[in-house]
């Protein structure tokens, strides 16, 4: 039986759990939610840690405190009582609805059967036979003349998943880049990575830019894998900004034309320089400089 909601008596919960810290509160709530939807908890500590979104070390520290709320075999008396009450109420409502429907149809059958005892013969309906007065007659589909049961309203279409397959695949790629496991081996800090990736894709961030930013971020990291996919976001944002910058324009300058013979000019210039030096020393030798 599907149980989309769970009763939570806040005053009782706060009175019983006032000694828990934030992590223990979260673990306990996740465990009782799982208990409510499935009817129990597994006995394996690894599975319990996964349900509580804790690492093995975190679960070992919190296990004794949280186990105090449960009986042996991880049974929970309060939740078992609530489950029994909900199941009993649902069964009563289902049985009551079934009896009401049966009674309603029984009355309709008796009424139509009695009305058909003195009913006249069906008459032809010219408008239904093309107006030609032929022998064809309109007949009720049911010999007793019962109306067809009303059609049940169509169920609303199930909403499409908010997380696309592309986001799931990209989240697995980022987990591999970070050096953490994917699927059932994903560390607790990476729970919900696909939701974060879907938000990036919804902003228009491309897969290539996300992967480039993530790899650049891991190339600078020296202290082990990141605690979550959000660690990559600053580097990815920088990569997105860099890709959005306009490409600088290259201005081509016109080529400069050199007239004459550069070698001849050089040689001529060099000769003029030597002549000037010789004239200077000659003037000094003669007392003119």
pLDDT at residue 136 in the model: 46
Q: Is 229 exposed, middle or buried (0-12, 13-18, 19+ CB in 10 A)?
A: buried
**4 and 33 Cβ atoms separated by less than 8 Å:** no
- Model confidence at 4, in pLDDT bands (50, 70, 90)? confident
Rounded to whole angstroms, the Cα distance separating 199 from 180 reads 21
Query: Is 70 exceeded by the pLDDT of residue 14?
Result: yes
pLDDT at residue 54 in the model: 94
pLDDT at residue 69 in the model: 94
Mean pLDDT of the chain: 77
Q: Which of 9-18, 223-232, 258-267, 275-284 has the lowest mean pLDDT?
A: 258-267
Query: Is 60 exceeded by the pLDDT of residue 131?
Result: no
Query: Is 50 exceeded by the pLDDT of residue 11?
Result: yes
Rounded to whole angstroms, the Cα distance separating 172 from 194 reads 8
Global model pTM greater than 0.75? no
- Model confidence at 49, in pLDDT bands (50, 70, 90)? very high
pLDDT at residue 263 in the model: 52
Rounded to whole angstroms, the Cα distance separating 136 from 278 reads 138
Task: Answer with the residue of higher pLDDT: 102 or 202.
Answer: 202
Task: Answer with the residue of higher pLDDT: 141 or 30.
Answer: 30
Q: Which of 95-104, 139-148, 161-170 has the lowest mean pLDDT?
A: 139-148
Rounded to whole angstroms, the Cα distance separating 168 from 172 reads 6
C-alpha closest to that of 79 among 2, 8, 4: 8
Instruction: State the angle between helix axes of 193-202 and 207-220 in degrees (0 to 180), rounded to the nearest 10.
Output: 130
Phi, psi of 54 (to 5 degrees): -125, 155
Task: Answer with the residue of higher pLDDT: 150 or 267.
Answer: 150
pLDDT at residue 123 in the model: 60
- Model confidence at 45, in pLDDT bands (50, 70, 90)? very high
* Cα separations in angstroms, 180 against 8, 25, 131, 216: 36, 26, 79, 17
Query: For residue 11, what are its two tokens?
Result: 């005053």
Report the percentage of the chain scoring pLDDT > 90.
25
Which tens digits make up the pLDDT trace of 164-220? Answer: 888 888 888 888 888 876 555 667 777 778 888 888 888 888 999 899 988 998 888
- Listed ranges 49-58, 112-121, 229-238; the one with the highest mean pLDDT: 49-58
Task: Answer with the residue of higher pLDDT: 161 or 22.
Answer: 22
**214 and 236 Cβ atoms separated by less than 8 Å:** yes
Query: Is 60 exceeded by the pLDDT of residue 52?
Result: yes
- Model confidence at 268, in pLDDT bands (50, 70, 90)? very low
pLDDT at residue 30 in the model: 95
Task: Answer with the residue of higher pLDDT: 17 or 251.
Answer: 17
């Amino acid at each position: 039986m599907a149980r989309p909601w769970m009763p939570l008596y806040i005053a009782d919960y706060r009175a019983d759990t006032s000694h828990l810290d934030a992590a223990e509160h979260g673990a306990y709530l996740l465990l009782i939610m799982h208990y409510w939807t499935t009817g129990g908890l597994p006995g394996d500590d690894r599975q319990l840690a996964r349900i509580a979104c804790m690492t093995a070390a975190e679960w070992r520290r919190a296990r004794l405190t949280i186990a105090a709320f449960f009986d042996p075999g991880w049974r929970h008396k309060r939740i078992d009582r609530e489950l029994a009450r909900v199941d009993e109420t649902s069964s009563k409502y289902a049985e009551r609805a079934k009896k009401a429907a049966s009674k309603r149809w029984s009355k309709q059958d008796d009424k139509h059967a009695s009305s058909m005892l003195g009913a006249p013969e069906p008459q032809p309906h010219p408008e239904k036979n093309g107006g030609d007065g032929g022998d064809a007659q309109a007949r009720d589909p049911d010999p007793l003349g019962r109306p067809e049961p009303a059609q049940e309203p169509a169920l609303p279409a199930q909403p499409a998943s908010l997380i696309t397959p592309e986001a799931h695949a990209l989240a697995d790629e980022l987990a591999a880049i970070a050096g953490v496991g994917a699927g059932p081996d994903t560390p607790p800090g990476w729970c919900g990575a696909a939701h974060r990736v879907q938000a990036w894709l919804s902003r228009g961030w491309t897969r290539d830019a996300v992967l480039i930013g993530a790899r650049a971020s891991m190339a600078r990291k020296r202290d082990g894998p990141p605690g979550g996919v959000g660690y990559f976001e600053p580097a990815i944002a920088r990569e997105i900004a860099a890709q959005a910058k306009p490409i600088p324009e290259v201005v081509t300058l016109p080529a400069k034309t050199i007239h004459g013979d550069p070698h001849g000019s050089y040689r001529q210039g060099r000769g003029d320089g030597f002549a000037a030096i010789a004239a200077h020393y000659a003037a000094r030798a003669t007392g003119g400089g």
